[in-house]
Each structure stands twice: as structure tokens, then as C-alpha cells.
């Protein structure tokens, strides 16, 4: 008798022991997942003294580094008024809870209580501008970002120093000649998740190729060249600073983690 048929036989008169073990494992996994999620939502605050000490330490590390890059996520745009995804219901952020947290709790964003700006009107924050300055000074090699709000691009960070892993909501690209168009409107028009044609055509009269938005939705592959170049920075870096990301979404989160796994500075 196979294990499967044994299990089926014992289940016939009630719940089999395998069922009970399986349920216990699933319950344990679900409890662990829940605890991990709760831990991710916990917000930590340093005293001004501790913050000064950390900033000084970071400045020293940046000065000493040979290959430094920054990895950013939604958390760096909340102060521009763009809500993130994972902040908890009790967050101190003016933008309020993250979009996925609200969805999970079946709630709507409170427009009276929370300060939210559309991505088109949002202005790059001090953080975005500080990164531009570091890049101009030659201290920062590049920014690898999970954000598609376009704030890094609009902050003045040159294209060669920016890798937008999940695309840019204001950029559409010609499928024929590859030319990119940075628009002052959200380029996505398709209602279907995996359809990306915007309905517009390339301006070049000898091309007139169809344009596609550059947004990468869940389940879609990341652009290969952007991903490969980002991995290259992960392999070379001796310092990586992660800002505004819980490093949950793969494969993007593998890039900064590579730096830590090689025993280099990562935080
Ligand atoms: Zn074209």
C-alpha cells in the first residue's frame, strides 16, 4: 500500500494523521508569515544623537568606498506625498498606510487625514536631490530603483546612472527603434495587466513604430539589460545603501543582498 492510499484509507473514517500533521505545518507557516509581516511593519526611530552618529559613519564609509551604489524603494517617495505599499495601519507617515495594507484591511485612503499627491505633481525630495549631488561629486556610481514614480529621473539623475527595475510611469518606448519618450503624463493606457501598447506611435517619420509603456507588472520579467547592469554593480560594490525598501520583492532585492553576501558594507 502506498503512503497515499494509506492516507486515503485512514481518512475514510475521519481525519487521517497526515492531514493533522499537514494542517499543523501550514498553521505554523502561516503564523511565521504573519509574524514576519508584522515585524516588517514595525517602525523604528533613532534619537538625534544616534542619528548623528550613523550619518557620520555613513559619510566616512562613502568617502572610503570605491564602488558605492544606492538601492531605493517606495519609502523614499512618501515625503513627496506618494503612498508606499507596505506601511502598517498605525504608521506615522503623513501619506498613511501602504496601498496593500489598506487593501488587506478592506479600507480606503482617508483623503481628509492623509496627505497624498499624484506622481505627476510630486516634487523630488531632499533625499532624491542628495543622491543627485553625490553622483555629481563622483561619490555615487548609480541608483538602482524599484520605483516607477519617475522622481529619480525628474530629480536630474542622468539616465546612465539610473536603473529603474520596474519601469517608469512617464516613459514609453518605441518597439521598433527603441527610442524612449519621457512624458509629462502617465503613459499607461491599457486596462489589461500584460498589455503595454499605449496606442501612440514613434515621432520619427521613418520609424513610426508602436510605443509601449515601460511598467513591469507582477509576474512579468524585468528588462534584461537593466537587470544585468544592476547585478554588475552588485558584484562590484564595496558599499550599498538601501533606502525605503523592505527588500521583499525578488529578483530586485537580490541585487543589494549580493553586496552583503560578499562580506561588503550593506545597510
Ligand atoms: Zn521608433
CATH topology of domain 48-82+118-169+223-267: Rossmann fold (3.40.50)
Q: Is 142 annotated as a binding residue?
A: no
Give the pLDDT band (50/70/90) at residue 250. confident
| pLDDT 10s digits, 21-71 | 888 878 887 777 777 777 778 888 999 999 999 999 999 999 999 999 999
> How much is the pLDDT for 14?
54
pLDDT at 9 over 70: no
Q: Is 174 annotated as a binding residue?
A: yes
Helix %, strand %, coil % of the chain (to 5): 40, 15, 50
| Closest C-alpha among 258, 74, 62 to residue 165 | 74
Distance 119 CA to ligand 1 centre (A): 26
More confident residue, 155 or 262: 155
Helices (DSSP H) in the chain: which residue ranges?
3-12, 17-41, 48-64, 99-105, 126-136, 151-155, 224-236, 254-261
pLDDT at 122 over 50: yes
Distance 230 CA to ligand 1 centre (A): 26
**How far is residue 62's CA from residue 67's CA, in Å, rounded to a whole number?**
9
**How far is residue 267's CA from residue 260's CA, in Å, rounded to a whole number?**
8
Domain assignments of the chain as residue spans, ordered by start: 3-41, 48-82+118-169+223-267, 84-116, 173-214
Q: Is 240 annotated as a binding residue?
A: no
Please give the backbone phi and psi of residue 170, each rounded to the nearest 5 degrees, phi first.
-105, 5
**Contact (Cβ atoms closer than 8 angstroms) between residue 16 and residue 7:** yes
| pLDDT 10s digits, 123-140 | 999 999 999 999 999 999
pTM surpassing 0.75? yes
Answer whether CATH 1.10.287 is correct for domain 173-214: no
The rounded Cα 94 to chain-centroid distance in angstroms is: 20
> How much is the pLDDT for 196?
96
**How far is residue 193's CA from residue 171's CA, in Å, rounded to a whole number?**
17
> How much is the pLDDT for 12?
44
Amino acid at each position: 500500500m502506498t503512503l497515499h492510499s494509506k492516507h486515503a484509507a485512514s481518512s475514510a473514517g475521519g481525519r487521517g494523521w497526515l492531514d493533522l500533521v499537514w494542517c499543523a505545518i501550514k498553521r505554523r507557516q502561516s503564523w511565521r508569515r504573519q509574524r514576519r509581516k508584522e515585524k516588517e511593519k514595525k517602525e523604528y526611530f533613532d534619537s538625534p544623537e544616534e542619528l548623528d552618529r550613523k550619518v557620520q559613519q555613513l559619510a566616512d564609509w562613502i568617502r572610503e568606498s570605491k564602488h558605492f551604489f544606492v538601492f531605493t524603494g517606495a519609502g523614499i517617495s512618501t515625503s513627496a506625498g506618494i503612498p508606499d505599499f507596505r506601511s502598517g495601519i498605525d504608521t506615522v507617515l503623513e501619506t498613511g498606510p501602504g496601498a496593500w495594507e489598506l487593501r488587506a484591511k478592506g479600507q480606503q485612503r482617508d483623503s481628509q487625514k492623509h496627505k497624498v499627491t499624484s506622481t505627476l505633481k510630486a516634487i523630488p525630495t531632499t533625499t532624491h536631490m542628495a543622491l543627485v549631488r553625490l553622483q555629481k561629486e563622483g561619490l555615487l556610481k548609480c541608483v538602482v530603483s524599484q520605483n516607477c514614480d519617475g522622481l529619480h529621473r525628474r530629480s536630474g539623475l542622468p539616465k546612465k546612472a539610473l536603473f529603474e527595475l520596474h519601469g517608469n510611469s512617464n516613459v514609453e518606448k518605441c518597439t521598433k527603434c527603441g527610442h524612449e519618450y519621457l512624458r509629462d503624463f502617465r503613459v499607461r493606457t491599457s486596462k489589461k495587466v500584460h498589455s503595454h501598447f499605449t496606442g501612440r506611435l514613434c515621432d520619427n517619420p521613418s520609424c513610426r513604430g508602436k510605443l509601449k509603456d515601460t511598467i513591469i507588472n507582477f509576474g512579468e520579467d524585468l528588462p534584461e539589460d537593466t537587470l544585468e547592469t544592476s547585478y554588475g554593480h552588485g558584484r562590484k560594490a564595496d558599499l550599498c545603501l538601501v533606502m525605503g525598501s523592505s527588500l521583499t520583492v525578488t529578483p530586485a532585492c537580490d541585487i543589494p543582498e549580493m553586496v552583503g553576501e560578499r562580506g561588503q558594507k550593506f545597510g
